Amino acid sequence: MKKLLLVISATFLFVAHVNAQTTAPNGGFETWQNKILIFNPLSPLEVPTSWSTFDSLANSLNFLIGQTTTIQKTVTKSTSVKNSGTSSAMMVTKTFSSLGAVPGIMTNATLNLDASFNLTFSGGAAISQRVSMASAYIKYAPATADSGSFAVEIINRTLGVDSVIGSGGVQFGVKANFTKVDVPITYIATNLAANLIRYYFTNSNDTVQNSSTLYVDDVTYTTTTGITEALMNDIEITAYPNPAIDVLSIKASSDDELLFELYAINGRVMQTKTFSKTTEIRVADLASGLYLYTVKNKDQAIIKKASITIAH
């Protein structure tokens, strides 16, 4: 059974690696939630909201094989090491008593394990157009001769069936500081629409040693029209009052520097302002009507899109 579990772990890495030849929530890993384990409800796993890890499956299988309730966590929240915001996702290989060394595995898809121990994936983040590039900020301290990986799939959901229409992936070595890693997406010859994007991260592809540590933060994607979207709608942005008369107030649940842009309905830029936490935009001189606005992070990735009405 131990060998079987290692094969399952390897299957995940194989999927992510072979796909190199795939606006979702929580790409900044700001929000986390507890996942209760059936065999040990008093020791829940803390997982990033809207993401899946292999920890739940690994701990359940480890319990079934070895009857041990000791919880191992390969993916945890880091508040001390992050690229921005309050936290990042830290991935470290852990040794399970019955399974051996299991690398950290994280995806925004849903992990499924069938009766034959085949690992499959479903779901993902909804997108409305094709993606040309996926990106994430990575910090990586590998064990000797180890490497991490970042892979992406673009999914079409015609008639409720998942079809991979685009994919990309990279393997990487040491990243001493947070570094933006880009994954170009290659599409097969098809006119099918892009409906979902799936991300896959793992901290170990080669030696699978406990010392390989991967931090992931600020996940984004860039559409084929050149617009970069952040998977970070866990940052709450409010613009008020709506309708606005003289002054529009902007408030963000983040200390990071952000950029507010106000557009006329024809796309003309009417106001821009850099701010942190809160700011005010004077709109008294603008004509009454419907306007659009975006809020971007330091990498010019859109983290908020909405409309506002100005009425005098």
Peptide bond into 48 cis (omega under 30): no
Which residues are paired to 293 by β-bridges? 262, 306
- Ordered by start, the domain boundaries in the chain are 2-230, 237-310
At residue 234, the pLDDT reads 66
Q: How far is residue 115 from each of residues 55, 120, 268, 276, measured CA to CA in Å?
A: 18, 12, 56, 51
As separate numbers, helices (DSSP H) first and strands (DSSP E) second, the chain gives 2, 26
Say whether pTM exceeds 0.85: no
In the block, tokens 């001189």 appear at 285
Tokens of 257: 């520097």
Query: What are the pLDDT tens digits along the chain (312 aa)?
Result: 444 444 444 444 444 333 322 234 788 999 999 999 888 888 899 999 999 999 998 998 888 888 888 899 999 999 999 998 889 999 999 989 888 889 999 999 988 877 777 778 889 999 989 999 999 999 999 988 899 999 999 999 988 889 999 999 999 999 999 999 999 999 996 789 999 999 999 999 888 778 899 999 999 999 998 888 887 666 788 999 999 999 999 999 888 899 999 999 999 999 999 999 999 999 999 999 999 999 998 888 888 889 999 998
Which of 168, 223, 235 is CA-nearest to residue 198? 168
Span 237-310: which CATH code?
A: 2.60.40.3080
Tell me how far apart the alpha carbons of residues 9 and 17 are, in angstroms, rounded to a whole number: 13
Report the pLDDT value the prediction gives residue 233, as an integer from 0 to 100. 62
43 near 71, Cβ under 8 Å?
yes
Class of the domain covering 2-230:
mainly beta
Cα(156)–Cα(127) distance, integer angstroms: 10
282 in Cβ contact with 246 (< 8 Å): yes
Which pLDDT does position 221 carry in this prediction?
A: 94
